[in-house]
Copies of this chain bind each other. A is one copy, B any other.
Amino acid sequence: MSKDLGVCYYPEHWPEDMWAKDAADMVAAGIKWVRIGEFAWSRMEAVPGKLTLEWLDRAIDVLGGAGLKVILGTPTATPPRWMIDKHPDMLAVDESGNPRKFGSRRHYCFSHDGYREESARITRIVAERYGRNRHIAAWQTDNEYGCHDTIISYSEPAKIAFQKWCRDKYGTIHTLNEAWGNIFWSMEYFSFEDIDLPNLTVTEPNPSHVLAFRRFSSDQVVRFNKVQADILRENTDMPLIHNYMGRILEFDHFDVGADLDIASWDSYPIGFLSDRLEASDDHKARFLRQGDPDMQAFHHDLYRAVGKGRWWVMEQQPGPVNWAPFNPAPLPGMVALWSLEAFAHGAEVVSYFRWRQAPMAQEMMHAGLQTPDGREAPGMAEARQVADIVKAFDDVESSQSPVAIVFDYASDWAWHTQPQGAGFDYFRLTFATYRALRRAGLSVDIVNSDCRDFAGYRAVFAPGLATLEPSLVEAIDDAGAIGVLGPRTGAITTEFRIPEGGRPGVPGLDARVELIESLPPHAGMAVVGGGTVDHWCERLSGSAKPLLSLENGALVLMAERNRWYLGGFPDETLFDRIVGLVSEAGEFETHPMPEGLRRRMLGDLEFLINYDAGDVTHDGQRIPACGVVVRKDGQVLAESNMN
């Protein structure tokens, strides 16, 4: 598999006589792939049933004819205005009960049958027309499921569908009442028609009710996507892709990914640092124009898992964007760094969003590789540099990492349903674990919670995994890996009850959670030897071996052979100590990194990635500011440097 660059392009935005030159310029810049079509429904079918696809035929011809491979998107993220007249109740409804109107994008409810049929219809139309087109080399379904908080809808169609989902799952209303514990506060239902969506209740609704609704909401996305995937499969042999977003957790990406061939994601490092990351003001100031040093890597590793090994960056930030609260520009070198880092994590394609900055509408302040008037924007030179550098390791494949983290979407739903402490968040905890492993210079794999093959791993972390199946623990142990479970692992059943056998319920580990406290900021509890437990602290008992304790004597980390349990949310110092203990016990090497520098192995290549604004020298190797050094056997193979 080669490593290619791509770009997102909107032929419908530009006069047809510009297409050929654009295509030629793309090719000249080293770009191999071009994504089109995903927002063009109103130009494909301006009047219901009257198709006008000739322009798209020609656009594909021009682009493909220039040598570009085309990714064609189904246009279902932006149904035309007439669709709302046809299906007035297709709009999603927000938590306050207001329909979310036409006038931007993603204006549909996943539970609306009529719209799903429309989505199937237009998918079939483009699939049949272009499924065997020789220029079309991949397909994208819809666009960024979940962006703009669009998974959860409190519409009437969603209510009806949820009642059906419950009936299918529980069979009788009595079973559901028992499962959810509806006797509590007399919340019992007498028929499935009694079940409402869990918004606008007087105080918080039953967590079992909410978690079921969250599962349902995820399932609706999977179903919606599968309808398109099935139709595409009938008509094409090319790979199917969806472009996920960063830290969108409202649906199970593994489930959607199961029906597709390649996972891709849209990587906006600077926007994400600003709008979706818990970090100190100092950290955000330090990485203001670079993005967080672990956020992209985390998603690369996550989507490599979602894509069952095959993954892309479908949209790569090429300059300042328009949608974050503040939108600074990347430092010179960062566009190249982000791109190379993706390849280091095994990406097949890195595709920039977008070719040319649009002079109008919502994204007119979103940079492209070109300025609105067609000159080169700063990102272009870096893309060209990447195309050049990447040739040095074009054929190297991603290899297994020494450690893995279990990632489980349903756990995020669970802990958002009942955080118990305002500082607790599943992603935050998992990402803190990931950061600690990266600070230790480790490459990391992320695996789904249904993974049972851990051969080759020295350690597996499963923080905050809401429901713990004993087979997971056994599988980790069978592989000879240390399993680090907790905090808050095994804390509930799939129906959101406290497990009858107590928490965490790790087989073969006598450790038990006696009591839980959640903590406000600045109330961290000191650990003997250094570090604190923040946000979340469990009081443990049991005969397992104590490894770490609070200064007040309470146990923090316990182990029985390879089965470890961690009873609190560690700060960075404590997390580093824990990783140290695990690496000792698991007999694998760590490479402690300075802040801002990160390391990733790709096969036998070592990538040193410097997110800092200044040069850094590490182990005798100088890595330039915002630069990447690729080494093989300690020798520099390639290097990016825009400074």
**Which residues of A pack against B, CB within 8 Å?**
12-13, 39-43, 46-47, 75, 78-82, 92, 94, 96-107, 147-148, 150, 180-190, 194, 196, 198-209, 274, 281, 284-285, 288, 319-320, 322, 325-329, 357-365, 367, 371-373, 377-378, 418, 420-423, 496-498, 500, 502, 514-520, 522-523, 539
Contact = CB atoms under 8 A, between A and B. Distances in A.
Nearest to A84: B194
A190 B82 contact: yes
Contacts of A326: 421-423, 518-520, 523
15 contacts: A13-B183, A41-B186, A80-B188, A82-B190, A104-B206, A105-B185, A180-B360, A184-B358, A207-B361, A207-B362, A207-B364, A322-B420, A359-B498, A364-B497, A371-B502
A288 to B, nearest CB: 6
A200 B43 contact: no
B200 A98 contact: yes
The secondary-structure label for the interface of chain A is loop
Contacts of A200: 94, 98-101
B104 A496 contact: no
Contacts of A202: 92, 100-101, 103-107, 148, 150
Contact of A517 (B46, B47, B281, B327): B327
Contacts of A363: 184
Given A200-B98, A359-B498, A78 B325 contact: no
Given A147-B203, A373-B500, 13 more contacts: A13-B184, A40-B186, A46-B190, A81-B194, A103-B187, A104-B204, A205-B362, A274-B520, A285-B522, A326-B519, A327-B517, A364-B497, A365-B418
B377 A515 contact: yes
B421 A325 contact: yes
A203 B143 CA distance: 14
A426 to B, nearest CB: 16
A19 to B, nearest CB: 15
B185 A500 contact: no
Nearest to A320: B517
B328 A517 contact: yes
B12 A183 contact: yes
A456 B614 CA distance: 51
A322 B201 CA distance: 17
Contacts of A498: 357, 359-360, 364, 372
